[in-house]
Amino acid sequence: MMKLIGPLAAAILLAGAAAARAQPAAAPCALVCVPPAVLNAQKCTCEPPVVMKPVCSLVCLDPDQTLDAQRCACVRRPQ
């Protein structure tokens, strides 16, 4: 039993070392972006921010009106 432990441990260590060399370690991104730019950590680049428009939650109850989503207002339905 003791004769097998030495070669087994060596095989495990060698397999672990080979696997460590096969997978390159991901280097952390050290880039600092100046606002309003945003860091894309996957690409390690500064990118312009994504402008998100606020969502309009207005509901027009009058059947003669329709929602103008750009202005977030109820307007008369075109005839």
- pLDDT tens digits, residue range 68-79? 988 999 999 887
pLDDT in tens, 17-57: 454 454 455 668 899 999 889 999 999 999 998 887 778 89
The residue range of the domain holding 41 is: 2-76
- The number of distinct structural domains making up the chain is 1
Indicate if the pLDDT at residue 3 is higher than 60.
no
Residue 28 confidence (pLDDT)? 83
Over residues 1-7, the mean pLDDT reads 54
The residue among 26, 63, 60 whose CA lies nearest residue 72 is 60
